[in-house]
């Protein structure tokens, strides 16, 4: 029996849809605006795309380094407005940029500012063969996070509300594999990144922080109904401990968590689409040293076909 | 052909099920109540500076997740006869800051005011999140650390 070959536009349709489920926005945490990984890639047959995402997150529990859960008895939220752009620069090469604006609120106190800037260079090393039911489209990417946001270590305001970034230059490499089968689609995003040491100083401390490696793996998929798509993705994040020397000498502790995302995508036209997404870090996994936040995101995207 | 499509759907469902099982539904492990009790038990010479002087902490106002706390820091030596507190005159500047070692970040600044011989009141004590914290006590001259100790604290 021959495998059924789907028309080209079906696979293309599915790949474009994947844009709505890529784990671009699931790494922000209620403790700070900094993401561990942030890539923004063109996965369809477009020459450019613009994206804006509003997200609202809050955490009910903080998990310590031993895995103990501590319930929060206060309201703290993190709102993020992220602007992203990506463009094809050569035949298979693309470049992207992502800049978030963060607003953090605790009680009646609010602070807002710019988060960490993320830049991405991608190369399509595996073009999609629509007639092949197994071979995916593969994009390798190089990601650089520039610490334009105020880090937790630099923050000085009450509740450290002015912490909008992670504070480290971070270089990451990874690969994104996508594939569509008719109404179904799936993706795998595997990456590693390395953050670099940096000195921090505020009114109380002067420390030199040495972060390490981090790994991320995201797996997801979805099903399409007419102009709607219902998706699902699961992302594992592991981040090495951050050692400190100077005013404070500690080894730090590893961070790990698993995030589940449930995006619902609506295709307004060939150029426009919107996504509403629910994310939750408190459903599965074995989280350590992290705030378990959950939130909703609303995304609108414009793209320009080649 | 429909059977093949149905088979594919079943396969995808199996993969997603296996992923769920592999990751495992989250199993909360709540912190024991005594761990979150924001008090430091005071024993004889509970914490020592590098110089050997003792440091003790007395909460005057317990901090909460919404409000500042306040405590007294006493720096003393044990009486040679019965090991009771003999408060020491400190010539250095006494400074404090709060630090969460697991995440390696601090909290908002505290204020320190000398009250009496070897006795300092620390105001504006606020822990930004629950967890294990270190209270760093440092004695400085011209911003150079001469002596220090760490008081662990679970908030």
Q: What is the pLDDT of residues A28-61, one digit of tens each?
A: 443 444 344 456 899 888 999 999 999 999 998 9
CB B129 within 8 A of CB A62: yes
Mean pLDDT, range A227-231, rounded to an integer = 95
Is A75 domain-assigned?
yes
The pLDDT value given to residue B44 = 76
What pLDDT band is residue A7 in, cutting at 50, 70 and 90? very low
In CATH, the number for domain B33-154 is 2.60.40.1930
Number of domains in chain A: 1
Torsional sign, CA A32, A165, A258, A187: positive
The H-assigned helical ranges of B24-150 are: 33-36
CB-based contact A239:A252 (threshold 8 Å): no
Domain residue ranges of chain B, discontinuous segments joined by +: 33-154
DSSP class of residue A3 equals P
Q: Stretch A173-185: mean pLDDT, rounded?
A: 94
Is A3 a member of any domain?
no
Q: What is the arithmetic mean of pLDDT over A120-124?
A: 96
Interface check B134 vs A, CB under 8 A: yes
ipTM passes above 0.85: no
pLDDT at A183 over 90: yes
Domain span at residue A134 reads 8-305
Q: Which residues of B touch A203 (CB under 8 A)?
A: 109
Predicted confidence at residue B138, as pLDDT, reads 93
Residues of chain A contacting residue B126, judged by C-beta atoms under 8 Å apart: 158-159
In a domain, A1, yes or no: no
CA torsion B112→A244→A37→B127, rounded to 10°? Answer: -20
pLDDT of residue B102 exceeding 50, the answer is yes
Contact (CB, 8 A) for B73 and B46: no
Torsion over CA of B7, B13, B18 and B20, rounded to 10 degrees? 180
**CA distance from start to end of chain A:** 36
CB count, 10 Å around CB of B74? 19
Distance to chain B for A3, nearest Cα, Å: 8
Looking at residue A294, what is its pLDDT? 95
- CA–CA distance from B28 to each of A98, A281, B52 (Å)? 34, 12, 42
CATH at residue A230: 2.40.160.40
Q: Report pTM.
A: 0.79
A194-203, B28-37, B143-152: segment of lowest average pLDDT: B28-37
3-state secondary structure of A109: strand
pLDDT in tens, A128-164: 887 888 899 999 999 999 999 998 888 878 888 899 9
Residue A227 pLDDT > 60, yes or no? yes
The model's confidence at residue B147, banded by pLDDT at 50, 70 and 90, is very high
Q: How many CB atoms lie within 10 A of CB B42?
A: 13
Spatial distance between the Cα atoms of B63 and A73, rounded to a whole number of angstroms: 13
Q: Report the pLDDT averaged over residues A288-304.
A: 94
C-alpha distances in Å from residue A68, one per residue of A250, A279, B15: 20, 22, 30
pLDDT of amino acid A16: 41
Output the pLDDT for position A52: 96
Q: Which of B35, B128, B138 sits opposite A160 (nearest CB)?
A: B128
What mean pLDDT, rounded, does chain A reach? 86
> How remote is the C-alpha of A18 from its chain's centroid?
14
B28 has a chain A CB within 8 A of its CB: yes
Residue A253's pLDDT is: 93
pLDDT in tens, B48-74: 999 999 999 999 999 988 889 999 999
Question: Over the stretch A74-99, which tens digit does the pLDDT of each residue have?
Answer: 889 999 999 999 999 998 999 999 99
Helices (H), chain B: 2-23, 33-36
Q: What are the backbone angles phi and psi of residue A171, rounded to the nearest 5°?
A: -115, 130
A83 or B32, greater pLDDT: A83
Residue B108 has a pLDDT of 86
CA-to-CA distance for A30 and A79, rounded, in angstroms? 9
Side-chain half-sphere CA neighbours of A186 within 13 A:
14
A2 within a domain of the structure (yes/no) = no
Whether the Cβ atoms of residue B93 and residue B113 lie closer than 8 Å to each other: no
Q: Which residue of A has its CA nearest to B20?
A: A284
Report the SS3 class of residue A13.
Answer: helix
């Amino acid at each position: 029996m021959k495998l059924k070959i789907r028309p080209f536009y079906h696979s293309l349709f599915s790949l474009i849809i994947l844009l709505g489920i890529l784990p671009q926005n699931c790494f922000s945490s209620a403790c700070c605006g900094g993401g561990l990984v942030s890539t923004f890639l063109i996965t369809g047959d477009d020459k450019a795309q613009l994206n804006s995402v509003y997200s609202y997150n809050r955490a009910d529990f903080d998990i310590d380094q031993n895995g103990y859960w501590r319930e929060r008895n206060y309201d703290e939220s993190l709102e993020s407005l992220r602007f992203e752009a990506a463009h094809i620069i050569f035949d298979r090469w693309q470049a992207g940029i992502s800049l978030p604006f963060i607003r953090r609120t605790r009680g009646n106190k609010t602070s807002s500012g710019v988060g960490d800037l993320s830049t991405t260079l991608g190369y399509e090393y595996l073009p999609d063969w629509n007639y092949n039911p197994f071979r995916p489209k593969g994009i390798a990417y190089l990601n650089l996070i520039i610490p334009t946001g105020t880090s937790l270590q630099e923050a000085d305001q009450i509740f450290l509300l002015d912490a909008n970034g992670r504070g480290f230059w971070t270089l990451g490499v990874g690969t994104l594999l996508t594939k569509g089968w008719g109404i179904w689609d799936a993706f795998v995003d595997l990456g590693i990144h390395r953050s670099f040491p940096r000195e921090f100083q505020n009114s109380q401390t002067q420390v030199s922080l040495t972060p390490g490696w981090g790994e991320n793996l995201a797996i997801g998929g979805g099903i399409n109904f007419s102009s709607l798509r219902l998706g699902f993705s699961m992302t594992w994040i592991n981040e090495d401990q951050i050692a400190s020397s100077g005013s404070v000498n500690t080894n730090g502790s590893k961070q790990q968590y698993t995030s589940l995302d449930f995006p619902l995508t609506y295709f307004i036209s060939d150029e426009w689409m919107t996504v509403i997404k629910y994310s939750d870090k408190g459903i599965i996994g074995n989280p350590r040293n992290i705030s378990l936040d959950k939130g909703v995101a609303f995304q609108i995207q414009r793209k320009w076909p080649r | 052909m429909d059977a093949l499509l149905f088979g594919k759907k079943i396969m995808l469902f199996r993969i997603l099920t296996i992923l769920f099982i592999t990751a495992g539904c989250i199993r909360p492990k709540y912190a024991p109540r005594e761990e979150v009790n924001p008090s430091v038990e005071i024993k004889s010479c509970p914490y020592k500076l590098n110089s050997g002087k003792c440091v003790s902490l007395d909460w005057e106002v317990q901090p909460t997740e919404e409000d500042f706390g306040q405590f007294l820091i006493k720096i003393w030596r044990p009486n040679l006869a019965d090991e009771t507190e003999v408060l020491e005159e400190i010539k250095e500047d006494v400074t404090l800051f709060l630090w969460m070692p697991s995440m390696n970040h601090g909290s908002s600044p505290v204020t320190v005011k000398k009250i009496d011989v070897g006795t300092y009141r620390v105001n504006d004590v606020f822990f930004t999140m629950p967890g294990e914290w270190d209270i760093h006590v440092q004695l400085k001259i011209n911003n150079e650390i001469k002596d220090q100790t760490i008081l662990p604290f679970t908030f």
